[in-house]
């Protein structure tokens, strides 16, 4: 666990930077000529906006592993800041971002989902590690008072844009198939019922959201107190920002 956490920390330092540090990640050979439209867009952009909290060097990450499709970043819990993997199966359950066997595995998207985060319901998995790495901190939603109020937002960053989510439900579940572990491609009447029955019902916090055709839900899943129980944290997309390509 310690070795992998050191590797992840090195990855964070090399391929991500805090707001305002973007220039340090580029050398002159990587800069492109900006058009008048680009400059106008940049001048209208708020440098303090949420999507500038962290900058990710996807070109460098892709050289390490093409299966890195994004980055997960908790705004008020910086210990959750990891590459997001996708292989179409559970390949990264016990493998790190370099495809090496590792007990802690990686943070990865369900194989039935699309890696571009366009699905109505996306599942993301990570282990509940004793040293609080990976999704180890998620347990605090149910064990620490006020943790939910102080840690409500996280971001999923991809090559094409950044997506901001607000957590609205969390609970223990006793099933690993069906129920909350159902992926959805688009919103329909059944999806709305699914949110009520499989996500909101049984939540440790009062859960209620408005659902429309553009609703995108992400559920984070990790181990819990029993081998047959999983702890889930569900969030709804509240904002997005597309990068200038």
> pLDDT tens, position by position, for the chain (245 residues)?
666 778 888 888 888 887 654 433 333 223 333 344 443 444 466 888 999 999 999 999 999 999 999 999 999 877 899 999 999 999 999 999 999 999 999 999 999 999 999 999 999 999 999 899 999 999 999 999 999 999 999 999 999 999 999 999 999 998 776 799 999 999 999 999 999 999 999 999 998 899 999 999 999 999 987 778 999 999 999 999 998 85
pTM of this prediction?
0.87
- What pLDDT does residue 40 have? 41
Size of the chain in residues = 245
- What pLDDT does residue 19 have? 63
- What pLDDT does residue 119 have? 98
The answer for residues whose C-beta is within 8 angstroms of residue 187's C-beta and 6 or more apart is 120, 211, 212, 213, 214, 215
- What pLDDT does residue 201 have? 93
Residue 232 to residue 121: CA distance in whole angstroms: 13
- What pLDDT does residue 77 have? 77
- What pLDDT does residue 13 have? 86
| CA-wise closest residue to 198 among 184, 214, 178 | 178
- What pLDDT does residue 62 have? 96
Token couple for 186: 């688009």
- What pLDDT does residue 245 have? 59
- What pLDDT does residue 7 have? 81
- What pLDDT does residue 89 have? 96
């Amino acid at each position: 666990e310690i070795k992998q956490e050191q590797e992840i920390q090195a990855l964070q330092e090399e391929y991500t930077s805090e707001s305002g540090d973007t220039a340090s990640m580029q050398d002159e050979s990587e800069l492109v000529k900006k058009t008048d439209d680009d400059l106008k867009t940049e001048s209208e952009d708020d440098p303090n906006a949420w999507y500038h909290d962290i900058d990710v060097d996807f070109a460098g990450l892709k050289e390490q592993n093409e299966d890195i499709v994004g980055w997960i970043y908790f705004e008020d819990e910086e210990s959750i800041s990891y590459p997001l993997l996708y292989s179409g199966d559970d390949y990264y359950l016990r493998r790190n971002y370099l495809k090496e066997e590792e007990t802690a595995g990686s943070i990865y998207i369900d194989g039935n989902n699309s890696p571009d985060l366009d699905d109505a319901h996306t599942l993301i998995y990570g282990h509940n590690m004793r040293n609080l790495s990976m999704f180890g901190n998620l347990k605090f939603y149910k064990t620490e008072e006020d943790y939910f109020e102080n840690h409500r937002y996280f971001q999923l960053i991809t090559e094409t844009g950044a997506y901001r989510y607000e957590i609205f439900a969390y609970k223990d579940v006793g099933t690993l198939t069906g129920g909350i572990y159902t992926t959805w491609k688009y919103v329909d009447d059944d999806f709305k019922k699914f949110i009520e029955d499989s996500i909101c019902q049984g939540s440790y916090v009062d859960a209620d959201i408005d659902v429309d055709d553009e609703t995108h839900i992400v559920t984070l899943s990790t181990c819990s107190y029993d081998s047959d129980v999983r702890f889930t944290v569900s969030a709804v997309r509240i904002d997005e920002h597309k990068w200038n390509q």
